[in-house]
Amino acid sequence: MNRKSLLLALPFVMLVGFASRRAALQQYDIQDPKGANGFTFAMVDGLEPVHGQGNDVSGSIMLDLENPEKSKGKVVIGIKALKLTSEVMSNNMMGEWCLDAEKFPTATFEVTSGKVKKAKNGEFEGTATGNLTLKGITKSTSVPVSARLVKGGVKERFGDKDGDLLMFNTRFSFNRFDFEIGKAVKEQLLSNKVEVSLSCAGMLYR
């Protein structure tokens, strides 16, 4: 190939490469029309056990099929949707002393990097590292993640839509004092360890 032909072909090669790269990146929307995405949380080591749940989960995952470790994403939790087993405790939890829901209505986890231990046949296991922001305080956090890519899964769930599902879940814990949650309450009464379990389906429509 002469120099002129090479120069003419270069933009085409770059375009093909860019298109291929975009095909390897897939964005999965975490906002579930059925509201099935959700999580639980618990604080069980103190004298007052706390058990709760929530289903206000949104955000997206940008899955890199060629390099799963480079996948990015952001999960957003609506604080006001959190519910405890006690209605009185649920209302109290929203106060300034605890979650201060009026001032900080959301909590987020934004993935900045990851490590994949296993990737086979659309199933992934590894660790996601990112920034956990709660009550306006951000801490770098690493959490274990397992995920499963289901081709045609949207059709299976909804019937009238086409697309793929990315099922993912994690279990981790954090120290409430790191985020100034109930900082005046001693850990003998209210455990400082908050255990979280999250399970979601991300959707890529066609």
pLDDT digits (tens, 9 = 90+) for 44-53: 999 999 999 9
Which pLDDT belongs to residue 201?
Answer: 96
Structural domains of the chain, with CATH:
26-205 (2.40.128.110)
pLDDT digits (tens, 9 = 90+) for 71-95: 999 999 999 999 999 999 999 999 9
* Distance, CA of 61 to chain centre: 8
Contacts 24+ apart (CB under 8 A), 170-174: 170/128, 170/143, 170/144, 170/145, 170/146, 170/196, 170/197, 170/198, 171/143, 171/144, 171/195, 171/196, 171/197, 171/198, 172/141, 172/143, 172/144, 172/196, 174/132, 174/134, 174/139, 174/141
pLDDT digits (tens, 9 = 90+) for 51-71: 999 999 999 999 998 898 999
Inter-residue contact 97 to 69 (CB < 8 Å): no
| Predicted structure pTM score | 0.85
Q: Residues in the chain, how many?
A: 206
